[in-house]
């Protein structure tokens, strides 16, 4: 460490991060283990720990040290420069928001969440609308406190993916939309459909054993990580202790498996961040888009490939004796690569998923620009859904009310999912350029070369590079939707669009 001021800053950042990790552990436990009547006790524990964490992260000494280090800036790209730049961002975000604002936001988040769950169940947008309006007002105020009153949506995009803004995302999504909408129409119009209800009666214990075998083969280190069961799959924790979840249904074995593989992608990224820098920006993920690129790469490019299933199909058949006797390899592969329309984002496949995101991006930027009012949302949602997907949700519960994000004011988050898909496709091209025979490894159940490449290209850098810079370095080109379009066509056209005779 080059200076005592930097060493002192890092010690304080690590201390705050350790407290934050305890908050995360309590939240994980709440989703996985907490007895139903113990939630009051947990709320008290979380409130106290969150307070201690906040106090440590807003320690005035951190501000003093940042001021001092900023007086003689370290060379751009050096460890110190990266730490100071991101610690400043985080510190300002925590200290520039007035205490009253933070309290008002916390109260609204909790209230709006409960109203949203009821509104969604009753498909009643009018019930939720005033809360969404208040979240939007608070979001504008938050951007203003941080000095971004002129471009509040850019502030939120940059928050999740450092360096990205609305104009860039708009350009990427416009190109993706132009290529994707007609391709989806073609697939939907194809007489070939993925088989439904193909896989039934898969015992949960055997599913659990199988997905542990798969995720361990991909490289997840169970010596410093776990997988458990929760209602919604997620990955939390850090490089030292990574917690993933999945969920099981006897008649949907692929859901549990692919959820687990997706979270393993997140988990492998966390486990690959440099342990020595744990608790500092150099030990943290770049942002949500890069995080999602890791989960999507493992879930889609790798685990829906023929090479992957050459190794794992015989194992799957052996793990579930008699369950797959009537299912041909080709039908199984089609079920694994199912594409179809649904109004629900989280139930959609990797092709149509991107259109669900473009819809939300259009709405968010329209709201922030004042082109769309909250009251108009249900109608705008239906129109965009028709334009993009060619369908309208049966009601607002399956339309504008389907996602939790806006109830918590998480604007600017959705684009990360689609950007993650683009980046995954770019990484996929780059890694196969470096190792043209990579998929032969998969057919042997060996993923070590891919993981090593991701470790050295992405994971080890922490936040050293912003999203676009990292893509540029690894892929040798700008962030672009071109490879995603190529990849989707390469994988899905042969399955759904056989050449006409
Ligand atoms: Zn994810």
CA distance 418 to 376: 25
Residues 363 and 410 in one domain: yes
How far is ligand 1, taken at its centre, from the CA of residue 74, in Å?
A: 34
Residues 373 and 427 in one domain: yes
Residue 501, in any domain of the structure: no
1 pLDDT tier (thresholds 50, 70, 90): low
How many other C-beta atoms can be found within 10 angstroms of the C-beta atom of residue 416?
24
Q: What number is the average pLDDT over the span 143-167?
A: 96
Total of domains in the chain? 2
CA distance 226 to 209: 13
Indicate which CATH number applies to the domain containing 249: 1.10.1370.30
Pick from 57-61, 95-99, 154-158: least confident: 95-99
How far is ligand 1, taken at its centre, from the CA of residue 183, in Å?
A: 24
CA distance 333 to 164: 37
Helical H segments across 288-375, by residue range: 288-296, 306-319, 329-336, 353-369
How far is ligand 1, taken at its centre, from the CA of residue 382, in Å?
A: 26
Residues 433 and 317 in one domain: yes
Residue 150, in any domain of the structure: no
CA distance 16 to 286: 19
Q: Is the dihedral of CA 352, 355, 359, 365 positive or negative?
A: positive
Residue 152, in any domain of the structure: no
How far is ligand 1, taken at its centre, from the CA of residue 242, in Å?
A: 14
User: What Cα–Cα distance (Å) separates residue 30 from each residue in 26, 89, 238, 260, 356?
Assistant: 6, 30, 18, 19, 30
How far is ligand 1, taken at its centre, from the CA of residue 457, in Å?
A: 20
Residue 149, in any domain of the structure: no
pLDDT > 70? residue 501: no
pLDDT of 494 reads 96
Residues 280 and 331 in one domain: yes
Instruction: Select from 131, 157, 192 the last residue of a domain.
Output: 131
Provide the annotated active-site residues: 263
Residues 243 and 385 in one domain: yes
pLDDT > 80? residue 247: yes
Q: Which residue has the tokens 């510190």?
A: 91
Residues 68 and 180 in one domain: no
77 pLDDT tier (thresholds 50, 70, 90): confident
Residue 244, in any domain of the structure: yes
Residues 31 and 175 in one domain: no
Q: What number is the average pLDDT over the span 130-135?
A: 98
CA distance 134 to 150: 19
The per-residue pLDDT for range 274-287, each reduced to its tens digit, is 999 999 999 999 99
CA distance 263 to 294: 9
Residues 234 and 331 in one domain: yes
How far is ligand 1, taken at its centre, from the CA of residue 294, in Å?
A: 8
Range of the domain at 27: 4-131
pLDDT > 60? residue 191: yes
CA distance 217 to 257: 13
Residue 97, in any domain of the structure: yes
Q: What distance lies between CA 65 and its chain's CA centroid?
A: 33
Instruction: Select from 84, 105, 131 the last residue of a domain.
Output: 131
How far is ligand 1, taken at its centre, from the CA of residue 288, in Å?
A: 8
How far is ligand 1, taken at its centre, from the CA of residue 285, in Å?
A: 13
499 pLDDT tier (thresholds 50, 70, 90): confident
Residue 157, in any domain of the structure: no
Residues 490 and 358 in one domain: yes
Phi and psi angles of residue 349, each rounded to the nearest 5 degrees, phi first? -90, 180
Residue 161, in any domain of the structure: no
How far is ligand 1, taken at its centre, from the CA of residue 336, in Å?
A: 18
- 466 three-state secondary structure: coil
CA distance 289 to 302: 18
Residues 46 and 189 in one domain: no
146 pLDDT tier (thresholds 50, 70, 90): very high
Q: What is the DSSP letter of 396?
A: G
Residues 191 and 263 in one domain: yes
Q: What number is the average pLDDT over the span 30-58?
A: 93
- Greater model confidence, 181 or 501: 181
Residues 127 and 209 in one domain: no
How far is ligand 1, taken at its centre, from the CA of residue 297, in Å?
A: 11
Write out the residues surrounding ion ligand 1, Cβ under 5 A: 295
Instruction: Select from 76, 110, 131 the last residue of a domain.
Output: 131
CA distance 403 to 413: 12
How far is ligand 1, taken at its centre, from the CA of residue 265, in Å?
A: 8
How far is ligand 1, taken at its centre, from the CA of residue 90, in Å?
A: 23
How far is ligand 1, taken at its centre, from the CA of residue 420, in Å?
A: 9
């Amino acid at each position: 460490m080059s200076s005592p001021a930097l060493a002192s800053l890092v010690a304080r950042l690590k201390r705050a991060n350790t407290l934050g990790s305890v908050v995360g552990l309590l939240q994980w436990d709440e989703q996985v283990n907490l007895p139903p009547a113990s939630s009051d006790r947990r709320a008290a524990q979380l409130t106290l720990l969150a307070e201690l964490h906040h106090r440590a992260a807003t320690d005035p000494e951190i501000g003093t040290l940042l001021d001092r280090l900023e007086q003689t800036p370290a060379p751009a790209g050096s460890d110190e420069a990266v730490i100071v730049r991101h610690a400043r961002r985080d510190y300002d975000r925590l200290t520039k928001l007035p205490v009253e604002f933070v309290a008002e936001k916390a109260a609204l988040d909790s209230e709006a969440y409960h109203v949203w769950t009821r509104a969604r169940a009753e498909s009643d947008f009018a019930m939720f609308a005033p809360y969404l309006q208040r979240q939007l007002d608070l979001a504008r105020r938050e951007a203003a406190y941080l000095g971004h009153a002129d471009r509040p949506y850019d502030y939120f995009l940059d928050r999740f993916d450092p360096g990205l803004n609305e104009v860039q995302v708009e350009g990427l999504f416009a190109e993706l939309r132009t290529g994707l909408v007609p391709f989806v129409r073609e697939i939907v119009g194809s007489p070939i459909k993925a088989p439904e209800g193909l896989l039934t009666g898969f015992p949960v214990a055997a599913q659990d054993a199988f997905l542990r075998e798969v995720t361990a083969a991909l490289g997840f280190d169970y010596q410093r990580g776990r997988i458990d069961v929760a209602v919604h799959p997620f990955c939390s924790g850090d490089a030292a202790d990574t917690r993933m979840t999945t969920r099981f249904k006897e008649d949907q074995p692929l859901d549990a498996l692919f959820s687990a593989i997706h979270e393993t992608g997140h988990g492998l990224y966390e486990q690959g961040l440099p342990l020595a820098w744990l608790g500092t920006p150099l030990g943290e993920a770049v942002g949500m888009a890069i995080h999602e690129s890791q989960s999507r790469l493992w879930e889609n490019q790798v685990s829906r490939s023929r090479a992957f299933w050459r190794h794992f199909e015989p194992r799957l058949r052996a793990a579930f004796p008699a369950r797959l006797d009537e299912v041909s390899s080709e039908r199984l592969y089609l079920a694994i690569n199912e594409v179809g329309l649904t109004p629900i984002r989280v139930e959609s496949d990797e092709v149509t998923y991107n259109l669900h995101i473009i819809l939300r991006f259009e709405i968010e930027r329209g709201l922030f620009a004042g082109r769309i009012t909250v009251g108009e949302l249900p109608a705008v949602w239906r129109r965009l859904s028709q334009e993009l997907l060619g369908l309208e949700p049966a009601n607002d519960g399956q339309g504008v009310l389907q996602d939790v994000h806006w109830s918590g004011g998480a604007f600017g988050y959705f684009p990360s999912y689609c950007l993650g898909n683009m980046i995954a496709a770019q990484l996929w091209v780059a890694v196969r350029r470096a190792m043209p025979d990579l998929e032969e490894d998969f057919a042997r159940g060996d993923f070590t070369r891919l993981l090593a490449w991701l470790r050295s290209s992405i994971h080890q850098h922490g936040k050293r590079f912003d999203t676009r810079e990292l893509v540029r370095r690894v892929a040798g080109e700008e962030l672009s939707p071109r490879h995603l379009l190529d990849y989707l066509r390469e994988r899905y056209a042969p399955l759904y669009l056989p050449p006409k005779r």
